[in-house]
Amino acid sequence: MNKKIEKTFKPNVQWMAKKYKEMNQKLFYGQLGDCDFGIFTTGKGSEGRTLGWFKTKGDNIRVDRYSRRMFINGWERIYIDRNNFVELCRPTIELNGNYSGTEHGFLATLVHEMCHYYTKMDGYCPRQGHGFEFRNIGSIVTSRSNGMFTIQRLASAEQMTELELSDEMKAKRERRLENKKARVFALFVYKKNGQIELTITSNANLITEIIETTKKQDDATKIEKSNDQSLIEELFSRGYNSDSRKWNYWNVENEKWITPLVNHGFKMEEIYTDSNSIIS
């Protein structure tokens, strides 16, 4: 169980079904039920952001807000449990066909999605996809695999070195990223308490909302906005690349790079200054 298979290939449904059966017996002691399999090459996550999915494709599945119990919302409420999970939920695992790599890399992704299956098979939907339930079964599977797999929320750096995105998808992702950078603005709000709030957004209404709300609260000394592509490129490279649709921000007050960054000569538009903060 601890020897990696280095053959480079692309996954298919037949391989997935075979390895699912094998891993179910070795790592889950046969507790998982039947499963459908698929390969996706288009749609959400296909450009490399997602290696695989676990989905329930049943109709009219609902989750009780408080108990997290899953049920079918029909003429009468049918609660889901281990006995009817496969029939009602139609569990499905899909892998990203735009990747190629080692068999071990794809096997690790398949086992990761099987852990998601385990967290739902008794009819309860976790509040967080990678929350306590996932971490619990992930640690168990990691131990049972004798070091072959390390199950965690994101693919490990080692696993990612085993997988390679197609050139076509790399180019498509780069075009999408460049288009995104061209649309977004960086908004810096300098608070009177010393915080510096950074928001990345392409939503003009959100920018207006932040500006007007900040003015009303009278708790900021300055607000600056920029669409300078060099600045946006720098911020994206540092991980600040979420296009916010709501008022979300990063507090970058204590980041060592912030002062030299904003004084680097990027084109910044000062759209608000608190007159009481100006020393004459």
> For residues 228 and 242, what is the distance between their CA atoms, to the nearest angstrom?
17
**Percent of the chain with pLDDT strictly greater than 70:** 92
pLDDT in tens, 38-79: 999 988 888 877 899 999 999 999 999 999 999 998 788 999
DSSP type of residue 38:
E
Question: Two tokens at 176?
Answer: 């999408």
Higher pLDDT, 6 or 61: 61
User: Residue 121 corresponds to which tokens in the numbers above?
Assistant: 């098979």
The two beta strands, 91-96 and 36-40, are parallel
CA contacts within 13 A on the Cβ side of 110:
28
Q: How confident is the model at residue 216 (pLDDT cuts 50, 70, 90)?
A: confident
Given this model, what pLDDT does residue 13 score? 97
Cα separation, 138 vs 149, whole angstroms: 9
End-to-end CA distance of the chain: 73
Q: For 120-177, how does the pLDDT look when each residue is reduced to its tens digit (9 = 90+)? A: 999 999 999 899 999 999 999 999 999 899 888 777 666 778 888 888 888 887 787 7
| Residue boundaries of the structural domains of the chain | 8-169, 184-277
Averaged pLDDT score across all residues of the chain: 87
For the ranges 41-55, 64-78, 82-96, 105-119, the lowest mean pLDDT is seen at 41-55
Q: Looking only at Cα atoms, what is the longest distance across the chain?
A: 76
User: Which pLDDT score is estimated for 262?
Assistant: 59
> C-alpha dihedral over 69, 70, 73, 75, to 10 degrees?
-70
Provide the whole-model pTM.
0.67
3, pLDDT greater than 50: no
Structure tokens, 79: 């609660």
